[in-house]
A = this chain, B = another copy of it.
Amino acid sequence: MRIALLGGTGDIGEGLALRWARDTDHEILIGSRDPEKAREAVETYEDRLADHGATGDLKGFANEMAADRADVVVLSVPPYYAGDTVEAVADRLDAETILVTPAVGMKGDEDGMHYHPPGAGSVTALVAQRAPDEVPVVGAFHNLAAGKLAAIDVEIDLDTLIVGDDADAKRTVTQLAESIEGLRALDAGPIANAAEVESVTPLVINIAKYNDDLSDVGAKWI
């Protein structure tokens, strides 16, 4: 399978790229608005994998090219770019392309982070509104600590919650999530339930802030 990580040069995209490259045979397409930046990220990731005795199938492209070639497109961009990024690649998507959104709207103050969804109710709902009607949208990978995910020598034992209105697309993303060692995917229902999933992201940041030794905290639902 070909997985495009748009905005895959930073944050959650880095960890997903490294772990899918190492743990699966999927072709990982790193996308960036600047294709040169995407190719540089690929070189960095290949070096990081080599440092840990691993290899992977990684390539760098402009976002549009990456989306065009992919079966699954992950919007690993900041939440305020999510809608625009969808529109920038919309004509490269079709009913066979799954659009995955891990972004969360948050606002921080001296107390901590607070959930701040867009008017659509959640970033997942916003992406579904902006995407072409025939493109299935799935929310996933929201509450994973980016630093821990990118540290590929760290073994993880975490859950990710999946929301979406298309059962086949959810099944594919669930399999893709669980192809990462130590990651379990749970179903949180349709896109209407996305806000409760997204709002765990500011919460884990707050838990990290107020508890020693939980700096890269994530959730297990048991």
Interface residues of A (CB under 8 A from B): 109, 111-115, 157-158, 161, 186-190, 192-193, 195-197, 199-200, 202-204, 206-207, 209-211, 214, 217-222
Q: Which of B188, B192, B200, B217 contacts A222 (CB 8 A)?
A: B217
In the complex, chain B residues whose CB is within 8 Å of the CB of A211: 186-187
> Shortest CB–CB separation between residue A164 and chain B, in angstroms?
11
Compute how far the CA of A219 lies from the CA of B161 in the bound complex, rounded to whole angstroms.
13
A189-B111, A189-B112, A189-B206 known; A218 vs B218 contact (CB < 8 Å): no
Q: List 8 A-B contacts (CB under 8 A).
A: A111-B192, A186-B210, A188-B207, A196-B202, A196-B203, A197-B203, A207-B221, A220-B220
Q: Taking the nearest CB of chain B, how far is it from the CB of A36, in angstroms?
A: 38
Residues of A contacting B: mostly? mixed
A214 contacts across to B, CB distance below 8 A: 186, 221
Nearest B residue to A156 via CB reads B222
Residue of B nearest to A208 (CB): B221
Contact (Cβ within 8 A) B210 A188: yes
Given A111-B193, A217-B221, A217-B222, A203-B200 contact (CB < 8 Å):
yes
Besides A115-B199, A161-B207, 12 other CB < 8 A contacts? A111-B189, A114-B192, A114-B193, A158-B222, A187-B207, A188-B206, A193-B206, A195-B199, A196-B203, A197-B203, A200-B200, A204-B221
